[in-house]
Amino acid sequence: MKPKCKILIIAGSDSSGGAGIQADIKTVTALGGYAMTAVTAVTAQNTIGVSSIVSIKPKEVEKQILSTIKDIKPDAIKIGMLHSQQVIKAVIKSVNKIKINKIVLDPVMVAKGGTRLINNAAIIYIKNKLMKNILLITPNIPEAEILSKTKINSKKDMIKAGKILIRLGAKNVLIKGGHLKADQMYDILLSKESIKIFKNKKFNSKNTHGTGCTLSAAIAANLSCGKDLIKSCEL
Ligand code: PXL
């Protein structure tokens, strides 16, 4: 089958296959797209936890992106684990070499078991530099709290945090509500002009590892095939 659309995934490797680049490739492939990759870090992990993280040198991240895009032009880009400020700089520099506005950033910060996947300087850099360069940022509640420096306990708090991120320069923000303790779940998509609320009932499951990666990869795949932002987030 000829793939419909091409998506460049810039993310970390998860040896357990549930999250990271492995989850992204499976998602893009399942949606009929073609996945290219640039690996930013290699994690050794299983369902219990992360046992090691090795960063890929920024120059190597840059080379992966540049070799790929020189030959196969992506229709959209999904960015996941970035790990350090130097890697983010390399990503911005290389992605800026092509004209592409369909970029989705999942601001990955902490693995499900609690291991930090990014340092503080990189978080500040995402806020100050990267966020403005992308179409959509998809934080979960703990990530939105860190980025907006607010506490989120309700749907109202999610909207408030989203508005702060828009004021800080994000074009579109999808705050995922799965961490709220409620039966009704909300994901909230905000831009300067609009707010769209996606509502669903809560599915109780311990198997949530990789859900954020999967969602952002699916949104990037949908965007790459020409769906608009709201339709791409509806899934
Ligand atoms: O789910 C976030 C995530 C993203 N990327 C990598 C990860 C994880 C969580 O463990 O390992 C590489």
Using the atom order of ligand 1, give the atom closest to the CA of residue 45: 11
pLDDT, tens digit, 9 for 90 and up, residues 57-86: 999 999 999 999 999 999 999 999 998 999
In this predicted structure, the answer to whether residue 127 has a pLDDT above a threshold of 90 is yes
Confidence of residue 140 (pLDDT cuts 50, 70, 90): very high
Pairing of strands 103-105, 136-137: parallel
pLDDT for residue 112:
80
Q: Among residues of the chain, what percentage have pLDDT more than 90?
A: 90
Among 22, 48, 52, 81, name the best residue to mutate to test ligand 1's pocket (greatest count of ligand atoms within 8 A of Cβ).
81
Confidence of residue 210 (pLDDT cuts 50, 70, 90): very high
In this predicted structure, the answer to whether residue 200 has a pLDDT above a threshold of 70 is yes
What's the CA-to-centroid distance between 61 and ligand 1, angstroms?
17
Return the CA Rg of the chain.
16
Q: Any idea which residues carry the catalytic annotation?
A: 176, 208, 210-213
Q: Name the burial class of residue 40, with classes exposed (0-12), middle (13-18) and buried (19+) by CB atoms within 10 angstroms of its CB.
A: buried
Give the residue from 200, 209, 175 showing the smallest Cα distance to 43: 209
**Residues near ligand 1 with C-beta < 6 Å?**
11-14, 19-20, 43, 45, 80-81, 108, 111, 117, 210, 212-213
Computed over every residue of the chain, the mean pLDDT equals: 95
d(C-alpha 226, C-alpha 235), whole Å: 14
Angle at the Cα of 94 from the Cα atoms of 91 and 100, rounded to 5 degrees: 95
Q: For ligand 1, atom 5, which residue shows the shortest CA distance?
A: 20
Q: What is the Cα 68 distance to its own chain's centre?
A: 20
Q: For ligand 1, atom 6, which residue shows the shortest CA distance?
A: 20
d(C-alpha 126, C-alpha 109), whole Å: 11
Contact at 8 Å (CB) between 80 and 51? no
Q: Got the DSSP string for 167-185?
A: HTT-S-EEEE-TTS-SSEE
Contact at 8 Å (CB) between 144 and 175? yes
d(C-alpha 14, C-alpha 107), whole Å: 16
Rounded average pLDDT over 109-137: 93
In this predicted structure, the answer to whether residue 3 has a pLDDT above a threshold of 90 is no
Distances (CA, A) of 168 to 83, 85, 156, 188, 190: 21, 18, 19, 17, 13
Q: For ligand 1, atom 11, which residue shows the shortest CA distance?
A: 14
d(C-alpha 56, C-alpha 189), whole Å: 32
pTM listed for this prediction: 0.96
pLDDT for residue 1:
65
Q: Among residues of the chain, what percentage have pLDDT more than 70?
A: 99
